[in-house]
Amino acid sequence: MKNILKYLPKAAACFFILLFVYAAISKTLDFENFQVQLAQSPLVSAYAGFISYSVIIIELIIAGLLLSERTRTIGLYLSLGIMVSFSIYIYLILNYSDFVPCSCGGILEKMSWSQHLIFNLCCVILSIISLYINRGLQNYDRKTISITIGVISIFSSGIVIFLFLTSEHIIKKENNFTRRFPHHVIREDLSYDLKVNSYYFAGAVDDTVYLGNTTSPFLLTKIDEKLSTTRTTYINPNKKLKYSAPKISISGQSFYLSDGYVPVIFKGGINDPKGDAHQITSDSPFFDQIKIIDSLTMVIRSQSNINNENILGLIKLSSPADIILKDDALDKQTDGIFDTDGQILYDGSEKSIYYFYYYKNEILKFDTELNRIGREKTIAQNTSHTPEIHTLKDGTKKIGVPSLPSNQNMIAYKGLVLTQSNLMGKFEQASQWRKNDIIDVYDLRKNEYWGSFYLPNPKKEKLHQMLIHKSHLYVLIGKKIVKYRIAQTLLDQFNQGKPKT
């Protein structure tokens, strides 16, 4: 038995050499995919670039040390350290991460995460036994070896825990443009062909989704949640005007017809078959965006009479009616028009108003009195895509070189903001961008980035708008409305405001 045991350190060394060399070569041959996997890890996403090179180099160095009998002991110690690191990494994945990513590739590709952990622990035990046997063969002090094993194990565990804690902070608070994609966030449920691409979401109530139509502005279309039955109502304003771009919004049991270029706002009941609407404002400022807060309050985006810069304001229908314009709500950098261009969002459950810039990677948060209460940077925070502006001889301003908005198609729901992004992050595959739209999710309650998901779009049709209602994501894309079921991974964010552990 002793004769067999004395060969164990050498056999263990051969095993680790094969394991580490194979692992290093497989990672190198599929290096881009290896970096993508690390970037999607809920533990070390922020360090994917550094770790991707370090792990390969360390594995090859350990394999080299194990080849020589003189350095084999050092190689076994390092083998212990790296296997302890891998074991702690998997333990944290299984017990403390926001989500469990796909299994690693390579020789262990077919194993589950739990099987990986068992395999790694067996490797840890093998390295420890080999070190103790090696001690007997080379007359090393047992106490010294025990202390060294303990120090290496604690140090290796500490490094992984440190990377986990700091990576989470960086990804959620100081993101370096590394996206994280939890798996299966949405799953297609139903779709319906609308025949035309001019529809937009007016809102949703109970089991009905309401659609407006830019080419038939007084047509309100109702579609049930099974996307199988549609009904239409023609809205009849009680005043004839030269309407320019009327738009419908749903809030509670009422619809609102607004045209900021007239400007005027009408109100009616969603269950009124006649679609009668009466005017509820007079002498309101011109506006190009409006969000209904409640039956007495609307937030608008208008333009200053002095310099034509974008400003935000409130229309209050209480008696007497009041109009509040806030020139300092938006942050001007250059012209105050294109650089402050963005979209007003309203989250009824949080009673919060958001302004999401198109070209600046920033979200502003306001209370219902338009007092700014927060600001959140998006993950592409170091990227500026404000278009080039030229001032013509008559004083008008014009976009020079066209610039694609960094963010578009935004929605706010229960403390979270979802936005379609046009910028590719680090360690992302161009093939995924060719067949999907990318949706980023931000938790504005905790001022952090939550994650991203792929919205299937293999034909690269235009994504017009998104809507969340009753645990489902509705999307207008091309000429279709598509309904997606939202996975529990994201629902937990809506319901609890924190990840499920």
Per-residue pLDDT band at 353 (split at 50, 70, 90): very high
C-alpha distances (whole Å) from 344 to each of 17, 281, 298, 370, 443 are: 58, 20, 11, 12, 17
Domain CATH code at residue 307: 2.120.10.30
Q: What is the pLDDT averaged over residues 177-200?
A: 92
Helix-, strand-, coil-residue percentages of the chain, each rounded to 5: 30, 30, 35
Are residues 203 and 122 both part of a single domain? no
Q: Examine residue 180 and state whether it is found in any structural domain, yes or no.
A: no
For residues 453-472, average pLDDT: 93
Helix (H, G, I), strand (E, B) or coil at 327: coil
Same domain, 311 and 236: yes
The number of domains in the chain is 2
Task: Looking at the structure, tell me whether residues 227 and 111 fall in a common domain.
Answer: no
Give the whole-angstrom CA distance, residue 499 versus residue 489: 7
Look up the domain containing 160 and give its range: 2-173
Calpha distance 58→78 (Å, rounded): 9
Q: Is the pLDDT of residue 401 over 70?
A: no
Which of 61-70, 366-375, 389-398, 472-481 shows the lowest per-residue confidence on average (mean pLDDT)? 389-398
Give the span between the Cα atoms of 350 and 459, in whole angstroms: 36
Q: Do 294 and 363 lie in a common domain?
A: yes
The reply to whether 143 and 209 lie within a common domain is no
Is residue 321 predicted with pLDDT exceeding 80? Answer: no
Does residue 209 share a domain with residue 72? no
How confident is the model at residue 332, as a pLDDT?
Answer: 83
- Which two structure tokens, joined as six digits, stand for 327? 């020139």
Domain boundary (173, 201, 232) is at 173
Q: Note the pLDDT of residue 499.
A: 41
Lowest-confidence range among 6-20, 33-47, 132-146, 288-302? 132-146
| Nearest alpha-carbon partner for 43 in 161, 174, 182, 181 | 161
pLDDT of residue 500: 38
Q: What is the pLDDT of residue 58?
A: 95
> Are 138 and 224 within one domain?
no
Does 179 reside within a domain?
A: no
Q: Which of the two residues, 402 and 294, has the higher pLDDT score?
A: 294
Confidence of residue 281 (pLDDT cuts 50, 70, 90): confident
Tell me, what's the pLDDT at 395? 57
pLDDT, one tens digit per residue, over 143-157 is 888 899 999 999 999
pTM of the model: 0.81
Do 209 and 335 reside in the same domain of the chain?
Answer: yes
Residue 501 lies in a domain: no
Across the range 231-236, mean pLDDT stands at: 93
Residue pLDDT, tens place only, 449-462: 999 999 999 999 99
Reading the block at residue 358, the tokens are 């198109």
Q: Are residues 368 and 307 in the same domain?
A: yes
Percent of the chain with pLDDT over 70: 89
Which of 147, 173, 199 marks a domain boundary? 173
Reply yes or no on whether the pLDDT at 376 is more than 50: yes
pLDDT tens readout for residues 420-458: 998 888 888 888 999 999 999 999 888 889 999 999 999
Q: Could you read off the pLDDT of 95-108 as tens digits, one per residue?
A: 887 677 665 545 55
Q: How far apart are CA 439 and CA 468, in angstroms?
A: 13
Q: Residue 40 is encoded by which pair of tokens?
A: 């999607």
Q: Are residues 407 and 337 in the same domain?
A: yes
269 plus 378 within the same structural domain? yes
67-84 pLDDT, tens digit per residue, is 998 899 999 999 999 999
Burial pattern 303-328, b for ≥16 Cβ within 10 A else e, equals: beeeeebbbbbbbebeeeeeeebeee
Q: What is the pLDDT of residue 489?
A: 82
The answer on pLDDT for 464 being more than 90 is yes
Tokens of 202: 């007016």
* Residue where one domain finishes, among candidates 113, 140, 173: 173
Domain assignment present for residue 235? The answer is yes
Same domain, 281 and 419: yes
What per-residue confidence (pLDDT) applies to 233? Answer: 93
Rounded CA-CA distance 356/86 in Å is 40
pLDDT at 37: 83
Mean pLDDT of the chain: 87
pLDDT given at position 32? 85
Q: Reduced to 3 states, what is the DSSP secondary structure of residue 101?
A: coil
Q: Which amino acid appears at position 365 of this protein? A: K
456 cis-preceded (ω within 30 degrees of 0): no
- Asked whether the predicted pLDDT for residue 134 surpasses 90, the reply is no
**Residue 328 counted as domain residue:** yes
- 330 token code pair: 């938006």
Q: Is residue 9 assigned to a domain?
A: yes
Q: Which of 70-84, 348-362, 484-498 has the lowest mean pLDDT?
A: 484-498
Has residue 279 been placed in a domain? yes
In the three-class reduction of DSSP (H, G, I as helix; E, B as strand; rest coil), residue 317 is classed as: coil
Residue 178 lies in a domain: no
* Torsions phi, psi for 237 (to 5 deg): -65, 145
Residue 468 in this model has a pLDDT that exceeds 90: yes
Residue with more model confidence, 37 or 213: 213
Instruction: Write the DSSP symbol of residue 46.
Output: G
Kindly report the backbone phi and psi dihedral angles of residue 76, in degrees, each rounded to the nearest multiple of 5, phi listed first. -70, -40
